[in-house]
Structure 1
Amino acid sequence: MYGGGVLTYFCFLQWLLLVNTCIFALVFTFVTLPQMLLPTEGDTLANMTAKSYSIYALRALRCSRRYDLNVPDNGSVVQSMADLVQGTGWMEKTVAFYGGYTDKRVFKSTASHSYNLPLAFLLTVLAYLLLSLFLVVRKAHGITEKMILTKHTQLHIGCQVFHLWDYGLIDATNSAIRQKNICRELQVDLAEQRRAAEMKNRTWWQAMKQWAKRLVINLCVVALLACAGYIIYFTTVKTTEITNRSDYASLSTFKTLLVEYMTTITITALQMALPIVFGKLVMWEGFTYAQEVNLTLARIATLKLGSLGMLLFSIFIQIGCTPKDACNVGTGSCPKLRCWETVLGQEFYKLVQVDFIGSVLVVFTIEFPRKHYVTKVNNAISRQLGLQEFDISDNILDLIYLQVLVWLGTFFAPMIPAMTIVKLILLFYLRLISVLYNFTPNTKPYRAADTDFFILVVLMAAYVACAVPIMYVIWRMPPSTGCGPFRSYYSMYDIVNVTIAEWPAWIRIILEFLPSVYFSIPCFIVLV
């Protein structure tokens, strides 16, 4: 009834629910549960997993105590609730955030059997990234086959009338649904043929005007994206400046809440406002509806990924600011990020919250009131507004954006997959009710398979955009020395080197031999 676009949205939402359930199972089983249930080693250098890193272990011990002193864990009920919402205070020391995990081994029933939590943390992150890649590629295989089949089975309009009908249908309801689907398929083909004829018959001057109009609109889009990036950067820096002031602790709980959510609200507001502008601009570019959907998808994806990229860039600049003290915390004019991983986790934690709140507010403050106003009031404004049509590109990009928050944020806030599962379940039923009650079937025809393929391209780009910064953090960025499972190491990847150094000598010899030219060249010759 509502077309392939709405079906694509709900199928994609269900697939994301599967992906996030798998990520949650991995993180909770191998990282969160051992941290919660198993006892840890004492604060002695002999028990550190980084035995060959005694200097870093000693520094981590000293900086951890300093970090604990700077994290308030008591206060009024109002402050405790504010900490729950913001992810600050007592929440920083829980398993919800990176800083709440130990850098030591945790033990089973006997001390002879230990569980290397830092190594498990790193391997679990790599595992959920690889699992996500597998699921994305698997989904891509099905969509690609469907698109190829659709391209190769396009028939003449007259043949489609007879070919597309399923003569096995005997139920009146299913027959009516099939008739509507065939009607939409024919509308898509006719629209594409009409567009091709218009393009073929236009004059040189008309083509030049069209390209000039598109150039101006694209320049406007680039300018809007650049302004959005600058606003996010400015807000992030200004928020850090306010939180580093000496009088910040004296602010009221409400003002503190506003400061903490300043960046999050800015990002969410931009992501809600600019897609509306993009949707209006693309209507002037002279594309078919399918092309409009895909182009809008690309622009909104650039906005959403660019917003998070600018957030990471802003915080990474603050992390690299010098001078720093012995605990790698900024001094002087540099921000005092004692646990920058938790700071990032708090940002993603708040983004997931505000994203869900924004989705709920849109449904109850815009979609339901608009439907009621248009159907109950008969005036020029209601006729101009008209009934709502489901915005395929914006809604699907909202889901991809949420998944980006999971892929990026789980490393810094391991509870984000659990939050996302709850959000997706609620969002499914909320959107279903809203679509059935508030929306009318889309009057602009398009082929869902083309949009499915473009969504896949955006999803793959989003995955790469998430995997690259995580790999950079693991291999290149020095971890915080006062918190988290890697506080005793120079880099997060050092846990792998330390673990391999504890293995038997014959295993280390094999591991050193495998990447050498003595093995790789003969292996390459045999394979060729």
Structure 2
Amino acid sequence: MQTSADAAHEEQPEPGASRELPWPMAARRAHRERLARDRVAQGAGATGAQWTRLIRRSKEKVREGLRSLQPWAWTLKRIGGQFGAGTESYFSLLRFLLLLNVLASVLTACMVLLPTWLEGTPPGPPAPNASSPCGSYNPGSHGLVTFATELFNLLSGEGFLEWSPLFYGFYPPRPRLTITYLCAAFAIGLLYLLLILHRSVSGLKQTLLAESEALTRYSHRVFSAWNFGLSGEVHVRLRQRLILYELQVELEEARVRRKAAVRTLGQQARLWSVRLLVNLVVLALLGAAFYGVYWATKTTVELQNKPLIQRTPVLKLVVDYLPSIFISVVNFVLPPVFKLIAPLEGYTRSRQIVFILLRTVSLRLVSLLVLLVSLWSKITCGGDAEDNKCKTCGYNYQELPCWETRLGQEMYKLLLFDLLTGLAVILLIQFPRKLLCGLCPGALGRFARTQEFQVPDEVLGLIYAQTVVWVGSFFCPLLPLLNTVKFLLLFYLKKITLFSTCSPASRTFRASTVNFFFPLVLLLGLAISAVPVLYSIFLIPPSKLCGPFRGQSSIWVAIPESICKLPQMAQNFLFFLGTQAFAVPLLLISSILMAYTVALANSYGRLISELKRQIQTEAQNKVFLAQRAVALSSADRTL
């Protein structure tokens, strides 16, 4: 009987009614049971596949919904279709930075502003005659104040703004507020880091693929670069122009590489001499700019205490804005010089753009860093704790009784001056230039031709402005909110300027520059901004007359004191996280994971190289076969 069932099982009949099969009873019973099990398995598999499809479709719908919620999506598509992907990348980055500032503003409101008022109305400023071993601090204006003085106070962050929620010194020394204030700074910084990393990594695969297109450098643009969804003659011409430019860039770089390959030893020595001279000139210009920023900051601190400056509001405003003015002038003058000398180095166009961007980034961010170093040198008396000005309180209380508010005011002035400078350029240069170009058809009109939207300079300006906000947000908590308003205004002004006064760029840059270099510079700005903030939190004593951390040895002391108030188990766990028993295993595990990742990446790289060689071999074989086919067909026609 079992043999008959096995034989029936080996026949594998079509599914059907068991009673119709010419089998023994046991074989038909086994067949029915097997069919029942198959139906159950198929039903479970179908249900699983159905749930998988449902989850995938739900994810796609959620992504589409999130894309539809993104502001200015249609505007960015229009900009990309008319002015290219490079210009679209600027507005996309502006939208991303606007999102960062909105999230930071929400966290600041929830973790700083609400705790400040939930525990009661904050106290007013110190009395004018109040004094302590660390001097006196008298913020705000007293008595009758003229409109001009109020306007100058609005521009400089002094007067009625100095003792307001805008700056650090306003917040009272309450236990809960100190914790939420410090935790808000770390939470916002971590949020910045995660979102920027997500934006950087999201396009990394496409960037690597675009950079490693040695096999498809020309064929991709010839066969796959056209967008058949374009509508309108203007967009079609723009796309044709962009494809033509990309091919021109590739041919130009190939020509430069061929020229470099046949260069003689004397020509190479001459070229390297020119490059060395150009870099020395660049270093000299950067050094002069950095020293100028240091001099302007030092002079500002010295002149602010002069009686003549104190009595004259206009002079006081000019002195207050002296570092901002100098930084803006340097950032306006030196980048065109870098563009002018870049072709002398003999690099390809893409390499020239990278060097220009690196030098401009160094100028902008290091200028800000020099400003901060000069201010910190003034706060800490040049690092000399035994100096008479710093010996009593640990900081220069005579000139800077509330040094945190002073730093916030400097960042506030940089932000405001950057906005005013941008408005002045748009209203006083770009729009009049467009009018002059339209009204003067002759040589003057050609001289004032329609300007192009300079994406690298504009993007680096955004990164500089955001770095200023990152540095100053701890000392000026409402600075992200002000930057949100600034970026909103800037978006619409740049949009109007783009469509009314600018033409598509004749020479754009590669998309890989957008996907890789700009997020990298954004991370660099975040790292630079973290250094002075962390230095202030851990090493500089807080002001004794203002702020939520007054009376403490350092700002960070509030965290250990709060941990000591927790239950013993929580204390042991948190202190364990800071011991070597936790750090060493974590470091070992991280090292192992990194080594595994590197080894895996190397194996994938070798596999990709092997596949590329196979593709090249296949291409050569196809060419050889095609040549043989042509030769044989020619021989047949001859016969």
Smaller-chain TM-score bracket: 0.7 to 0.9
User: Aligned pair in 2 of structure 1 residues 182, 243: CA closer, same or farther (>3 Å)?
Assistant: same
Indicate which of 290, 301, 312 corresponds to 2:372. Answer: 312
Higher gyration radius (CA): 2
Question: Counterpart of 1:26?
Answer: 107
> 1:23 & 1:339 partners in 2: Cα distance?
24
Residue aligned with 2:543, SS: coil
How far did residue 83 of structure 1 move? Answer: 1.5
Equivalent position amino acid for 1:350 in 2? K
Does the 8 Å CA contact 1:327/1:482 hold for their aligned counterparts? Answer: no
Deviation at 1:203, TM superposition (A): 3.1
Matches within 5 A, 1:342-421: 342-380=405-443, 382-384=445-447, 386-421=449-484
For residue 95 of structure 2, the aligned residue among 14, 19, 27 is 14
| Distance change in 2, residues 1:445/1:506 (3 Å) | closer
The answer as to 2:331 corresponding to 1:271 is yes
Equivalent in the alignment of 1:207: 268
Residues 448-497 of structure 1: CA deviation (Å, up to 9, x unaligned):
22343122222221111111221111111111111111112100000001
Question: Which among 388, 407, 410 is matched to residue 323 of structure 1?
Answer: 388
1:47-86 matches, within 5 Å, as 63=132, 67-69=136-138, 71-78=140-147, 79-86=149-156
Distance, in Å, in 2 between the alignment partners of 1:522 and 1:162 is: 53
The 5 A counterparts of 1:98-497 are: 98-105=168-175, 116-153=176-213, 155=216, 157-158=218-219, 160-166=221-227, 169=229, 171-172=231-232, 178-246=239-307, 248-249=309-310, 251-321=311-381, 322-324=387-389, 326=392, 330=396, 336-380=399-443, 382-384=445-447, 386-497=449-560
Per mean C-alpha deviation after superposition, the further-off stretch among 449-458 and 215-224 is: 449-458
Deviation of the 1:525 alpha carbon:
8.0
8 Å Cα contact 1:217/1:281 also seen in 2:
yes
Q: How far apart, in 2, do the equivalents of 1:525 and 1:296 lie?
A: 40
Residues 143, 449 of structure 1: 8 Å contact kept: no
Percentage identity across paired residues of the two chains: 32
Distance of aligned partners of 1:188 and 1:426 in 2 relative to their CA distance in 1, 3 Å threshold = same
Structure 2: which 5+ runs fail to align?
1-81, 125-129, 382-386, 593-639
Equivalent position amino acid for 1:33 in 2: L
The answer on whether the counterparts of 1:294 and 1:451 sit within 8 Å (CA) in structure 2 is no
Aligned residue for 2:266, secondary structure, equals: helix
Aligned to 1:58: none
Q: What is the CA distance between 1:238 and its match in structure 2? A: 1.3
Deviations 1:340-399 (A, max 9, x none): 111111011011111011111111222222233234324545445543222222111100
Per-residue CA shift, 1:97-131, capped at 9, x if unaligned?
Answer: 011111114xxxxxxxxxx0011111111111111
Q: TM-score, normalised by structure 2?
A: 0.72
CA distance in 1, matches of 2:560, 2:471: 25
Q: TM-score, normalised by structure 1?
A: 0.86
Map of 2:67 onto structure 1: none
Alpha-carbon offset, residue 239 of structure 1: 1.3
Distance, in Å, in 2 between the alignment partners of 1:296 and 1:314 is 27
RMSD: 2.8
Check conservation: 2:102, 2:484, Cα contact below 8 A.
Answer: yes
Say whether residues 1:92 and 2:92 are aligned partners. Answer: no
Q: 1:152 to 1:414 in 2, by over 3 A?
A: same
CA contact (8 A) 1:261 1:350 kept: yes
SS in 2 for 1:284: helix
Once structures 1 and 2 are overlaid, which stretch shifts more, 197-206 or 150-159? Answer: 150-159
Unaligned runs of 5+ in 1: 44-60, 106-115
Q: Distance in 1 between matches of 2:544 and 2:461?
A: 36
Distance of 2:586 and 2:280 partners within structure 1: 51
| 3-state SS in 1 of match to 2:211 | helix
Residue 171 of structure 1: CA displacement? 4.2
Decide which moves more: 233-242 or 127-136.
233-242
Q: Is contact 2:294-2:371 (8 Å) kept?
A: yes
